C-alpha cells in the first residue's frame, strides 16, 4: 500500500501525521486502511496514531528542555487513559498528572513509577489522599487551606513525609470557554493570592510535620490559544515566590508548574491560530528566567502538564453513516452510529469539528449537512454544518482531532456500547480496548 503525501489530503492539518491515502483511494492512518479497521473492530472506532503521539511527547520534552533543561513533562491523564496507553506514555519519558483515585489506580495497575505522578483536585477525598500517600505518589498538589491538616494527618498515619505543591489561583483570565477557565478569582480551583489564602496555605504546610513544601502550581484553563496568559500568570507567581514565600515565610520554591492547557486545532481554521510549541516554551521559560533574575530567586525545576496537546491530534473517530433526513429549506441531518455517548464536547462546550468522507477523502464536497449522533437528545449533534460529499448509507466518516476529552468523558447513555480503541503504526493496528458487550452493561448489577 502506497500512501500519497498527506498534504494532498483535505483536513491534513488536523489529521494525524501518518494520515495518507491508499491505492484504493481510502484514508489510511498509521498505514492502516480505515475500511479494514472498521470491518475488523466495528464502528464507532477510536484510532490513535503512534507517530503523532511520539512526535508530540518528544516535541514537548525537546522543545522545553532546549529552552530550560531542568524540566519534566507530565501527561494529564484525564485527557485519555487506560493501562496500555499509560505504559506507552511512560515509555515516551513522560510522567503523569492524575486527578482522581481511579486514575492513580489505573497508573499503578499499568506499572507506572508513581514517583512520576502528581495528584491534583479541588476536593480530593480522604480515601484518595490515603491511596496516593500509600502508593508513593511523587507530589500531591494542595488545592485549598483545609486540605493541609487533612493530608498532614493522613501522611502522619502512614509515617511518611509527603512532598507537596500548592495550586495557586493567580487571578488571570485565559480567554477560553467559561466552563474551562480555571485561573480567575471566581474559580473552584486553587488558593487565591488576593485573599491571603495562598500565603496562609503555604505557611500551614511549612509548619506541618508530615508535609514538605516543594513549590507552586498554576493551571489557567484550556485550550489556551494565546501565550500572554502564561506570561501574566508567571509574573504574578514570581511576585508571590519572592515577596511571600521567600521574604515573609523564608521558604525556597524548588519547583514550579505553569500547568497545561496548550491548544490543539480541531478545524483547519483553528490551525492558523495555533501557537507553535516553541512560542509556548519561550513565553514560559523566558518570563520565568527574567522574573527570577529581576527578583533574585533561584530558578525552580519546572513541570509542564499537557494533556490535550499530546493526544488530541493523534486520535480519529470513525463512524458509519446511517439515516438521512432532508427538511427542505431548513436542514439535512445525516446520522452516524455514535454521538454524544463517545463525544459530549459539541453538546457541552459547542466544540467545533470537521468531517471527512473516509473512503473517498478526495471526493469534491457537495453539500452542508448536520452530522447527528444516534442518541435520544436533540442536542446530540456532532457537527452542525459539515461540508461533505453527498454521504451514502454505510460509508465511513472520520472526525479528526478526537483524541482528547472524548472517550475520557464517554458514557453509556442509551446503554450504548463504549467503542473499541486501536493504536496504529507501520500498517499494524493494536487493539488497546475492546468494544463493550451486553454483559458489560449489566456487569455491575446486583440481582
Ligand atoms: C486538565 C489539566 C491539565 C491538562 O489540560 P490540557 O488542556 O489537556 O493540556 C493540566 N493540569 C491540570 C491541573 C489540569 O487540571
Pairwise CA distance, residues 431 & 406, whole Å: 18
**Pocket residue to mutate for ligand 1, from 219, 229, 311, 312, most atoms within 8 A of Cβ:** 219
Q: Which sign, positive or negative, has the C-alpha torsion 136, 139, 144, 148?
A: positive
Residue 361 lies in a domain: yes
Do 35 and 63 fall within a single domain? no
Q: How many independent structural domains does the chain possess?
A: 2
Q: Whose CA is nearest to atom 3 of ligand 1?
A: 260
Q: What are phi and psi of 275, to 5 degrees?
A: -65, 145
For residues 179 and 92, membership in a common domain is answered with yes
Which of 275, 310, 345 is the endpoint of a domain? 310
* Mutate which of 180, 260, 304 for ligand 1 pocket (most atoms within 8 A of beta carbon): 260
C-alpha to C-alpha distance for 230 and 243, rounded to whole angstroms: 20
Mutation probe of ligand 1 site: the residue of 305, 351, 403, 409 with most atoms within 8 A of C-beta? 305
Whether residue 239 is found in the same domain as residue 115: yes
Catalytic option among 32, 71, 245, 376:
376
Q: CA-CA distance, 31 to 41, in Å (whole number)?
A: 16
pTM: 0.96
Residues 319 and 344 in one domain: yes
Contacts of 149 (CB under 8 A, 6+ apart): 204, 208
Q: Return the CATH number at 281.
A: 3.20.20.10
For the CA of 223, the nearest atom of ligand 1: 7
Last residue of a domain, one of 291, 310, 329: 310
Together in a domain, 10 and 56: no
> Which residues' Cβ are closer than 6 Å to ligand 1?
76, 78-79, 97, 99, 120, 219, 222-223, 259-262, 305-309
Residue 401 lies in a domain: yes
Calculate how far, in angstroms, residue 25's C-alpha sits from the geometric centre of ligand 1: 38
Q: Residue 431 in contact with residue 84, Cβ under 8 Å? A: no
Residues 299 and 222 in one domain: yes
Q: How far apart are the C-alpha atoms of 319 and 325, rounded to whole Å?
A: 17
pLDDT tens, per residue, the chain with 447 residues: 444 445 579 999 999 999 999 999 999 999 999 999 999 999 999 999 999 999 999 999 999 999 999 999 999 999 999 999 999 999 999 999 999 999 999 999 999 999 999 999 999 999 999 999 999 999 999 999 999 999 999 999 999 999 999 999 998 887 776 766 776 778 889 999 999 999 999 999 999 999 999 999 999 988 999 999 999 999 999 999 999 999 999 999 999 999 999 999 999 999 888 989 999 999 999 999 999 999 999 999 999 999 999 999 999 999 999 999 999 999 999 999 999 999 999 999 999 999 999 999 999 999 999 999 999 999 999 999 999 999 999 999 999 999 999 999 999 999 999 999 999 999 999 999 999 999 999 999 999
- Show Cβ contacts of residue 213 under 8 Å, excluding neighbours closer than 6 positions: 164, 166, 202, 205, 206, 251
Cis peptide before 223 (omega within 30 of 0): yes
Beta-carbon count within 10 A of 273 CB: 11
Nearest atom (ligand 1) to Cα of 262: 9
245 catalytic? Reply is no
- What is the pLDDT at residue 2? 44
Q: What are phi and psi of 354, to 5 degrees?
A: -125, 160
Separation CA 349–CA 385 (nearest Å): 16
User: Which pLDDT belongs to residue 1?
Assistant: 42
For residues 285 and 335, state if they share a domain.
no
Residue 437: count other Cβ atoms within 10 Å of its Cβ: 9
Cα 27 from Cα 19, distance rounded (Å): 7
Residue 72 CA to ligand 1 center (angstroms) comes to: 15
Contact 251, 298 (CB under 8 A): no
What local confidence, expressed as pLDDT, does residue 7 receive?
Answer: 54
Distance 244 CA to ligand 1 centre (A): 26
Q: What is the CATH number of the domain that holds 374?
A: 2.40.37.10
Q: Are 210 and 155 in contact (CB under 8 A)?
A: yes
Residue 348 lies in a domain: yes
What is the 3-state secondary structure of the chain?
Answer: CCCCCHHHCCCCCCCCCCCEECCCCCEEECCEEHHHHHHHHCCCEEEEEHHHHHHHHHHHHHHHHHHCCCEEEEEEHHHCCCHHHHHHHHHCCCEEEECCHHHHHHHHHCCCCHHHEEECCCCCCHHHHHHHHHHCCCEEEECCHHHHHHHHHHHHHCCCCEEEEEEEECCCCCCCCHHHECCCCCCCCCEECCCCHHHHHHHHHHHCCCEEEEEEECCCECCECCCHHHHHHHHHHHHHHHHHHHHHCCCCCCEEEEECCECCCCCHHHHHHCCCHHHHHHHHHHHHHHHHHHHCCCCCEEEECCCHHHHCCCEEEEEEEEEEEEECCCEEEEEECCCCCCCCHHHHHCCCCCCEECCCCCCCCCEEEEEECCCCCCCCEEEEEEEECCCCCCCEEEECCCCCCCHHHCCCHHHCCCCEEEEEECCEEEEEECCCCHHHHCCCCCC
Give nearest CA residue, ligand 1 atom 7: 261
1 found inside a domain: no
Ligand 1 center to 99 CA (angstroms): 10
362: in domain: yes
Q: Are 370 and 362 in contact (CB under 8 A)?
A: no
Short-list 402, 398, 400, CA closest to 345: 402
**Structural domain ending residue among the three candidates 278, 294, 310:** 310
Q: Are 103 and 77 in contact (CB under 8 A)?
A: yes
Is residue 112 domain-shared with residue 189, that is, in the same domain?
A: yes
**Under 8 Å between Cβ of 210 and 152:** yes
Residues 358 and 293 in one domain: no
| CA of 426 relative to ligand 1 center, distance in Å | 30
288 and 264 both lie in a single domain: yes
- Measured CA to CA, the distance from residue 18 to residue 425 in angstroms comes to 8
446 in a structural domain = no
Q: Is residue 37 part of a domain?
A: yes
Please identify, by atom number, the ligand 1 atom nearest to the C-alpha of residue 309. 9
Question: Could you list the residue range(s) of the whole structural domain that residue 195 is in?
Answer: 51-310
- Asked if 109 and 252 sit in the same domain, the reply is yes
Pairing mode, if any, of strands 301-304 and 255-259?
parallel
Q: Give the position, in ligand 1's atom list, of the atom nearest the Cα of 306.
A: 9
Residues 281, 326: contact at Cβ < 8 Å?
no
For the record, the C-alpha cell of 295 comes out as 527578583
Domain shared by 196 and 301, yes or no: yes
Domain-located, residue 447: no
Q: How far is the CA of 306 from the centre of ligand 1 (A)?
A: 6
Amino acid at each position: 500500500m502506497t500512501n500519497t503525501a498527506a498534504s494532498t489530503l483535505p483536513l491534513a492539518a488536523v489529521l494525524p501525521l501518518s494520515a495518507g491515502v491508499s491505492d484504493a483511494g481510502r484514508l489510511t492512518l498509521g498505514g492502516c486502511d480505515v475500511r479494514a479497521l472498521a470491518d475488523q473492530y466495528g464502528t464507532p472506532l477510536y484510532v490513535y496514531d503512534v507517530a503523532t503521539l511520539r512526535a508530540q511527547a518528544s516535541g514537548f520534552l525537546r522543545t522545553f528542555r532546549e529552552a530550560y533543561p531542568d524540566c519534566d513533562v507530565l501527561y494529564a491523564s484525564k485527557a485519555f487513559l487506560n493501562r496500555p496507553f499509560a505504559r506507552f506514555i511512560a515509555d515516551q519519558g513522560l510522567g503523569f498528572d492524575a486527578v482522581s483515585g481511579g486514575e492513580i489506580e489505573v497508573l499503578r495497575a499499568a506499572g507506572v513509577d508513581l514517583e512520576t505522578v502528581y495528584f491534583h483536585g479541588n476536593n480530593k477525598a480522604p480515601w484518595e489522599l490515603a491511596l496516593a500517600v500509600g502508593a508513593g505518589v511523587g507530589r500531591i498538589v494542595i488545592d485549598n487551606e483545609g486540605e493541609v491538616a487533612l493530608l498532614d494527618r493522613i501522611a502522619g498515619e502512614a509515617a511518611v513525609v509527603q512532598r507537596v505543591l500548592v495550586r495557586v489561583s493567580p487571578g488571570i483570565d485565559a480567554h477560553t470557554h467559561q466552563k474551562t477557565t480555571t485561573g480567575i478569582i471566581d474559580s473552584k480551583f486553587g488558593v487565591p493570592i488576593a485573599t491571603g489564602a495562598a500565603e496562609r496555605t503555604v505557611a500551614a504546610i511549612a509548619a506541618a510535620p508530615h508535609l514538605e513544601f516543594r513549590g507552586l502550581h498554576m493551571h489557567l484553563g484550556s485550550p489556551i490559544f494565546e501565550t500572554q496568559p502564561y506570561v501574566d500568570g508567571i509574573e504574578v507567581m514570581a511576585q508571590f515566590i519572592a515577596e511571600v514565600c521567600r521574604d515573609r515565610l523564608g521558604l525556597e520554591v524548588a519547583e514550579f508548574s505553569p500547568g497545561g492547557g496548550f491548544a490543539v486545532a480541531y478545524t483547519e481554521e483553528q490551525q492558523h491560530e495555533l501557537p507553535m510549541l516553541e512560542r509556548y516554551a519561550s513565553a514560559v521559560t523566558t518570563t520565568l528566567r527574567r522574573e527570577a533574575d529581576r527578583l533574585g530567586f533561584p530558578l525552580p525545576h519546572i513541570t509542564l502538564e499537557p494533556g490535550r496537546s499530546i493526544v488530541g491530534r493523534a486520535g480519529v473517530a470513525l463512524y458509519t453513516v446511517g439515516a438521512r433526513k432532508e427538511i427542505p429549506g431548513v436542514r439535512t441531518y445525516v446520522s452516524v452510529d455514535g454521538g454524544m455517548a463517545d463525544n459530549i464536547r459539541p453538546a457541552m462546550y459547542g466544540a467545533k469539528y470537521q468531517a471527512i468522507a473516509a473512503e473517498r477523502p478526495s471526493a469534491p464536497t457537495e453539500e452542508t449537512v448536520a452530522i447527528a449522533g444516534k442518541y435520544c437528545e436533540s442536542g446530540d449533534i456532532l457537527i452542525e454544518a459539515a461540508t461533505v460529499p453527498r454521504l451514502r448509507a454505510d460509508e465511513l466518516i472520520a472526525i479528526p482531532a478526537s483524541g482528547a476529552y472524548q472517550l475520557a468523558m464517554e458514557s453509556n447513555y442509551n446503554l450504548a456500547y463504549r467503542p473499541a480503541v486501536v493504536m496504529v503504526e507501520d500498517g499494524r493496528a493494536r487493539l488497546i480496548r475492546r468494544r463493550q458487550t451486553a454483559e458489560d452493561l449489566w456487569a455491575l448489577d446486583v440481582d
